[in-house]
Structure 1
Amino acid sequence: MDWNITFKSKGRSYKLMLISEIEITESVENLVDTAVITLPEAVLNKVLDFENTISRGSEIIIELGYDNDLRKEFSGYVKDITTNDSSLKILCEDSLFLFRVGVKDAEMKPTSMKKIAQSLIDQIDKSFKLSCDFDIGYEKFTIHQATGYDVLKKLQEETKANIYFDAEKKVLHIHAPYLEKGGEVVYSMQKNIEKSSLEYKRAIDKKVEVTIESIDLKGKVRSYKTGTTGGDKITLKVGSMSEIDMKRIAAVALQQNNYDGLDGSIDTWLIPFVKPTYSAYFSDEDYPEKKGIYYVISTVTTFSDAGGKRVVKFGIKLG
């Protein structure tokens, strides 16, 4: 097992020479991907001190692998350094960290997710590019005493879009769920899965009713429902928008909560490499009916003296 952790701060690079554990959490359902590096608080009775090297805002790259064959698992920024229970933790976030700064108050009308996101980039960091193919329209969108993070969080909560950053290419992505394809990976219960908690569920067995509520510019409440009447109720309150866009959001919410697929996760190792948005080709010789291609929703990667492990969660069945 090999690892390489590099920090960049004030024009200089630093390598971390010891760790106790690394945990990296990535998900298309979360706005931010995180990494937590745990270190012993003291080595040879000497307290570790990063005051003059690593601090909030330092860039970080984490590479993990075997036999010096390393893959970049995380890149981002140091959010905080804490001491707790005889250990020291370095808390890191992806490029969303850069967007935790205040933006100008604004009342945008009419507007769209693409225009709102681009305004954040223009104010915070123009080196980022925007990739948005899920452009929900707003009759009015208000920003008041908010950070870029607050605005993106509101957009994600209201539209259920996948909003995430590609730190390496400096791209802010906004897509409808399950459409963005990051790569492919192959899993077999008999070959490269340590254990599984997967259970196959069918959409026909789960009844869901989705309601979208919006208040138009005149203060009138609009409502749109879809799904199965009397099923599990999901209600989303969104900003002022057209009925067409309300229907688009309802369709996304219904798909996220009612689909044929495997519910649960698998425990694997660092190889094969996988990220959220990957298409996972899954097979099980004992249960051939579970064979299929599944969308990877999230991964939690841990690395320590006990080994490297990756917990992979599947979502909708793609084929």
Structure 2
Amino acid sequence: MYTMAYDIEIGGWHIGMLDSVEVHRSVELLADTATITLPGAQYNVALDVEDKLHRGDKVIIRFGYKEEGLKEEFTGWLQQISTDGGNIKLTCEDDLYTFRKELKNEVLKKVSLADLLKKVVQGIGKNYSIQCSYSWTYAKFVIHNATGYDVLKKVQEECGADIYLSNGVLHVHPPGEVVGVNRFYNFALNVEAVNLTYRQAADRKVRVVVKALLPDGTVKEVEVGVTGGEKVEIKCPTSDAASMKLRGELEVKRRSFDGYDGSITTWLIPECVPGDMAWLYDADYPRKDGCYFVRAVTTTFSRDGGKRKIELGFRLS
């Protein structure tokens, strides 16, 4: 029998009473988020946290089983305090919060993505190092009334990259290029619930149209995939044919494969974060066994226990 426990620190204060906490992490979203829900009152006396906690306070969330030791599930910054609805909700954001600073308006010409990222990091006053797998150059990149977060969001929208901060390093990689730990899930042992549909690649036909804006204002298009299926249009920051084709092939890979769509719900053990590999094993249907890129994990902790909802991305093997 495991004993649930937590340790949540905000701005030097430790939370004594807790209704629930939810941590959402995804490779498809720039920032990981956490929502801490506190009771609105203690012994019929309303709690007043707004004179103690403030926007921008450092947040560290640990929880788990005493027998296994508490795990750090989230570290970041307090973004918002809400006291509506009879309880207190604290909305937090990971270190991408530090990119929500205004940058100097500027028009950059013939700037490489690596140099653009360096300029953003310098613009927010940080010294994060950068690991970037892309090497294209923007003919022109306009920064106008934008934060560092806005620039990263634009880059992600245009190239579909996994963008995240880890140990002081800003990572920008194609989806699935950098994978984490291998997690094993047996439907009969360590999976509480499944919400999965097994589909064949033939049922996931997709035609990707990649578009790039040329200097003269016209749009160049490259099509990848098969006809007769879903048509998807995406932007590409560079207009050379090889890069556009690669961007389209990546999108086809993400959308068309033999395997599961959906999610599984597990307990807190084993740990799992986006970017990990989830091996699924089903003794009743071994032909469906496979390894999937984990695209998102939502972890909840409350008096009802601790659970992880693991959302699957494309199949790795």
The residue aligned with 1:82 is 82
**1: distance between equivalents of 2:135 and 2:74?**
28
Residue 47 of structure 2 is aligned to residue 48 of structure 1: yes
RMSD: 1.5
**1: distance between equivalents of 2:253 and 2:138?**
22
CA contact (8 A) 2:187 2:282 kept: yes
CA contact (8 A) 2:238 2:244 kept: no
**1: distance between equivalents of 2:81 and 2:56?**
11
CA contact (8 A) 2:212 2:239 kept: yes
**1: distance between equivalents of 2:112 and 2:243?**
10
The residue aligned with 1:183 is 181
Q: Could you tell me which runs of 5 or more consecutive residues in structure 2 were left unpaired when the two chains were aligned.
A: none
Among 6, 12, 18, which residue is 1:3 paired with? 6
The residue aligned with 1:95 is 95
TM-superposed deviation, 1:77: 0.4
**2: distance between equivalents of 1:94 and 1:47?**
29
The residue aligned with 1:270 is 268
CA contact (8 A) 2:62 2:70 kept: yes
TM-superposed deviation, 1:135: 3.3
- Offset from partner CA, 1:194-229 (integer Å, 9 cap, x none): 111122222222111111112211222211111112
Q: Could you tell me which runs of 5 or more consecutive residues in structure 1 were left unpaired when the two chains were aligned.
A: none
CA contact (8 A) 2:158 2:236 kept: yes
TM-superposed deviation, 1:164: 1.5
CA contact (8 A) 1:140 1:239 kept: no
**1: distance between equivalents of 2:43 and 2:135?**
56
**2: distance between equivalents of 1:203 and 1:134?**
28
The residue aligned with 2:291 is 293
**1: distance between equivalents of 2:224 and 2:137?**
20
What is the TM-score when the length of structure 1 is the normalising length?
0.94
270-279 or 138-147, larger mean C-alpha shift? 138-147
TM-superposed deviation, 1:239: 4.1
CA contact (8 A) 1:139 1:242 kept: no
Residue 118 of structure 2 is aligned to residue 115 of structure 1: no
The residue aligned with 1:151 is 151
CA contact (8 A) 1:141 1:239 kept: no
Aligned AA (1:72) = E
CA contact (8 A) 2:222 2:241 kept: yes
Match of 1:191, SS? coil
CA contact (8 A) 1:213 1:223 kept: yes
**2: distance between equivalents of 1:3 and 1:193?**
23
Residue 63 of structure 2 is aligned to residue 59 of structure 1: no
Aligned AA (1:189) = F
The residue aligned with 2:72 is 72
TM-superposed deviation, 1:185: 1.1
What is the TM-score when the length of structure 2 is the normalising length?
0.94
Match of 1:126, SS? coil
- Offset from partner CA, 1:77-103 (integer Å, 9 cap, x none): 000000121010000001111111111
The residue aligned with 1:260 is 258
Match of 1:114, SS? helix
Residue 301 of structure 2 is aligned to residue 303 of structure 1: yes
**Percent of residue pairs identical:** 39
**2: distance between equivalents of 1:74 and 1:144?**
32
Aligned AA (2:7) = N
Distance 1:118 1:108, change over 3 A: same
260-269 or 74-83, larger mean C-alpha shift? 260-269
Match of 1:251, SS? helix
137-146 or 295-304, larger mean C-alpha shift? 137-146
TM-superposed deviation, 1:242: 2.5
Distance 1:80 1:121, change over 3 A: same
